[in-house]
Amino acid sequence: MTDFDLGEVDRLLKTTKQVRKRLDLTKEVPVDLLLDCIEVAGHAPVGGNLERNRWIIITDAELKAEIAHYYAEVGRPYLAASSDIRTDDRTSRVIDSSIHLIDHMHEVPAMVIPLRLDRPPSGENDEGSAGGWWGSVLPGLWSFQL
């Protein structure tokens, strides 16, 4: 088994929220690297041991701009409401960082969007099923981000 520097692992896990403004949006990300990250995400736990997640890599500038536009349409009102509710310094920094992401999202070298082959359950008796559905999506997203 490979030995890990747990202190370094902990440091990386504790600082991931603070990187939005430090991203180098001019640096190209090789598609092979993105495919490696997707492959790692495919090893995350999924319900029923049946992989239903799929991924799309977007590098087309016009499509990235269109996606960024829709993200801003919902993101800006959400952040405005959040800033009205919580006014502490930490929240202000997070909101400023989030606005920076909205303003520059179209500049990212690539967008990787997760997809599912099915839809989340809906209905009044589907709480357990919905939890299982999301429990099959989120671990892969987390693994991809790391």
Q: Are strands 111-116 and 53-58 parallel, antiparallel or unpaired?
A: antiparallel
What total number of domains does the chain contain?
2
Phi, psi of 105 (to 5 degrees): -55, -40
Same structural domain, 76 and 88: yes
If pLDDT is split at 50, 70 and 90, which confidence band does 57 have?
very high
- Residue 16 belongs to some domain of the structure: no
Q: For residue 123, what is the DSSP state?
A: S
* pTM of the full structure: 0.77
In 4-144, DSSP assigns E strands to 53-58, 111-116
Asked if the structure places residue 17 within a domain, the reply is no
- Categorize the per-residue pLDDT at 18 as very low, low, confident or very high, splitting at 50, 70 and 90: low
Same structural domain, 91 and 130: no
Range of the domain at 75: 60-108
Q: How far apart are CA 68 and CA 41, in angstroms?
A: 24
- Asked if residues 74 and 98 have their Cβ atoms less than 8 Å apart, the reply is no
Which one is predicted more confidently, 139 or 19?
139
